[in-house]
Structure 1
């Protein structure tokens, strides 16, 4: 039986370490469990040796590409074979694939199993014309099979494949100094050494991502000038100077923006969105608010008063509640509230947020964040009322971080110690030195700033909320 497969073209897969070999079977030894291939190809490249011998232990899979007539007759007599095929092994669904299972270490002879074609009849596969062309018909070979197509394995490129590529010699032909000289702006190779010596003095050796920018003119860091200074300067992460303004100038700026169409309702909505985005980042952002973390929703308490600052806090609480945050709104039952507060309460009541009017109804355990909107720029006497003092005492004892929104400017410390302070438009002088100041863009046009005497250039860049640092 060992001579039945001689002359057949096979493909032997020896695993990822040894690769795939293809060639003509020259001998099969049952005793030593070996098979030899003549004129072999290794991974599509012709081997430098004329013959290669494989042990049964190294063979993972064996496929027949071309089968001699004697092998087919023998297989037909044993009842273990079907129609022979001359198609390449790449068409697995329609070629007569001959596979050899992973052999054991025993001395049993090599067993070869052939599998019939699988797949629909209308699939692409070897046609009858192809079978006639290769001389194979009805499972038998009509004549001697032609050798492997030379175009498949390169033909006249075998000599070049035997030579190793000289990487070092090819790399020596590359003149890196000349190329770098051209990149630096000089094409004269004679002054290459001089250029390299002066390169470190005039041009930096390497650039960071923010340094590799063509600068047309010097940067002006003080791009905002105000007619009345608030007494303190801030700077952004990019180094731009943002001056503080007194409350009178800030009030005139908001009034001018309202005359041009930036109404109180539009301003409340913008401040609510920006403060909500900042609060979500402080709460953990995507690491905290995920569908898999529904059992640990953050809790935020919003302390509000009956004024425009309280309406800003209600707007922020509404957006937070829309983002599945547990919001508790504190607003005492006042007899008189501004119209903006009433309209914001109507919208907030349609969310899942809660509203309480007494300090006793607030949580006794620490919450994730407290938003302070109790202060009013127009009425400083609110701090003397009992509800304000009770709310401030609760916030200081809760041990939760506090975000103060649009606080009133005062030389004295705020009743509630805030970790973050969010200013609107332009910053007001903040009395708390330990509070981190942020600035919110509410969409005031540049011409409106110019109307109140402010020369303005936006410091926000690509953001709507930016941090400010003491200059």
Structure 2
């Protein structure tokens, strides 16, 4: 009896995953519970396969769109028996139902699937003798598109023929689609592959070196030694850099021996003065504002610096710093009292400073009365502390303390003086001296002493400067 339904046009709903198929029944197999369609349409699009076979398990709903003319009309025993056989094939799906439409002629069956697909309906068209508005509309649209079998209508059916409104109101079945994915099997395969790879990697661990990530160091990490400078007499005052390196202080006698050894190696006093002048001027330019202050467009706001110098080596270092500041466009005022006899290094530095056409005064009365941008103090002397008792020293120190400008002291002496200048910044040379506890910020300047010179005086030395020539020091 299944052969009586061959040639009928049906619509098979296989759910959201497989979709909806329409086509002509080509075979029905009771033993395997399958049904085959030839020239099928899948969701309104012509399938590239000439025939598709469905199992009763996959069928959710089966509808008859047209019945071949050879089939008995509904209501007869043969039709009822065939309907029962089809129902038995589709009964295993969920919500299966079979709707038997009216029997149409063989001429209408050729175009009925296309018409029904284009309209998105699942019921059979009306009888040939009905003259309702639907049939008139179909005839009118068919004439406009070049007939029932015209190419325009065929394209229209392929694009809009699917019954898209059937499941538009239903929610998407996430659990049903997720159940189609066998997670346990996939995870077991992944675990087996990962275990085999781990075993393979462990077997070759002795032959192949371990790989590193982009943020890992390929070199073997060594512990950082923060105490890289040791002195013959430890236990004095110590400082530390921004990186945590320990910089111990040295007494003035050891510092003096270090400078004398450097001169024997070739680091003459003139070289040391020039290096000190360059580094101290660079620090002063930074304190004055650097590129934000010293620009060609800012010629009306040039910074003013006052240098307080004495007739000794520390004074010569200050004069060298003033010369470099003047060369960089800073308004420099040099205070240096008139002495009958001064050291040769001071005389030569003053002569070079005179080439900058900057101002030089010998009396405190000639210093600016208004506050300046920076005061550089080079009044103290390591060899002659009695200079602090002279009138010119006391007058210059009083002027610096009364002026509201910040003070930078270059190579100050150890201890606190009765009339010393209150400095905001202190610049030490080579290695710091054990300065008294003050609120001043201590900086260290690299004056170019080689490593072998430090070893000669018993200091194990490794440069803490890194990429800079002036670094800050902190009290731990």
Query: Which band: TM-score by shorter chain?
Result: 0.5 to 0.7
Unaligned regions of 5+ residues in structure 1, if any?
1-185, 192-204
Post-superposition CA distance 1:387-430 (Å, at most 9, x none):
00000000000010000000011155771110000000000012
The correspondence for 2:332, drawn from 319, 327, 334, is 327
- Tell me the SS of whatever aligns to 2:273: helix
**Is 1:309 paired with 2:326?**
no
Report matched runs for 1:360-439 at 5 Å: 360-410=365-415, 415-439=420-444
**Is 1:356 paired with 2:351?**
no
Provide the residue aligned with 1:268 in structure 2: 273
* Distance in structure 2 (CA, Å) of the matches to 1:213 and 1:273: 40
Provide the residue aligned with 1:465 in structure 2: 470
RMSD: 2.5
Change (3 A) 1:334 1:294: same
* Distance in structure 1 (CA, Å) of the matches to 2:378 and 2:385: 13
Report matched runs for 1:168-247 at 5 Å: 214=219, 216-229=221-234, 231-247=236-252
Provide the residue aligned with 2:290 in structure 1: 285
| Superposed displacement of residue 362, structure 1 | 0.3
- Tell me the SS of whatever aligns to 2:392: helix
| Superposed displacement of residue 206, structure 1 | 11
* Distance in structure 2 (CA, Å) of the matches to 1:275 and 1:380: 23
| Superposed displacement of residue 228, structure 1 | 2.5
Task: Determine if contact 1:328/1:353 at 8 Å carries over to the other structure.
Answer: yes
Task: Determine if contact 2:333/2:361 at 8 Å carries over to the other structure.
Answer: yes
Report matched runs for 1:244-259 at 5 Å: 244-259=249-264
Task: Determine if contact 1:234/1:244 at 8 Å carries over to the other structure.
Answer: yes
| Superposed displacement of residue 229, structure 1 | 4.2
Post-superposition CA distance 1:366-394 (Å, at most 9, x none):
10000000000000101110000000000
* Distance in structure 1 (CA, Å) of the matches to 2:410 and 2:324: 15
Change (3 A) 1:451 1:187: farther
* Distance in structure 2 (CA, Å) of the matches to 1:188 and 1:387: 88
- Tell me the SS of whatever aligns to 1:310: helix
Post-superposition CA distance 1:138-194 (Å, at most 9, x none):
xxxxxxxxxxxxxxxxxxxxxxxxxxxxxxxxxxxxxxxxxxxxxxxx997669xxx
| Superposed displacement of residue 431, structure 1 | 1.4
- Tell me the SS of whatever aligns to 2:276: helix
- Tell me the SS of whatever aligns to 1:470: coil
Change (3 A) 1:213 1:368: farther
* Distance in structure 2 (CA, Å) of the matches to 1:266 and 1:358: 30
Unaligned regions of 5+ residues in structure 2, if any?
1-193, 200-212
- Tell me the SS of whatever aligns to 2:332: strand
| Superposed displacement of residue 433, structure 1 | 2.2
Provide the residue aligned with 1:121 in structure 2: none
| Superposed displacement of residue 213, structure 1 | 8.4
Report matched runs for 1:103-122 at 5 Å: none
* Distance in structure 2 (CA, Å) of the matches to 1:393 and 1:230: 36
Task: Determine if contact 1:228/1:249 at 8 Å carries over to the other structure.
Answer: no
Task: Determine if contact 1:230/1:245 at 8 Å carries over to the other structure.
Answer: no
Structure exhibiting the larger radius of gyration computed from Cα positions: 2
Task: Determine if contact 1:245/1:427 at 8 Å carries over to the other structure.
Answer: yes
* Distance in structure 2 (CA, Å) of the matches to 1:304 and 1:347: 15
Provide the residue aligned with 1:346 in structure 2: 351
| Superposed displacement of residue 352, structure 1 | 2.8
Aligned residue-pair number: 273
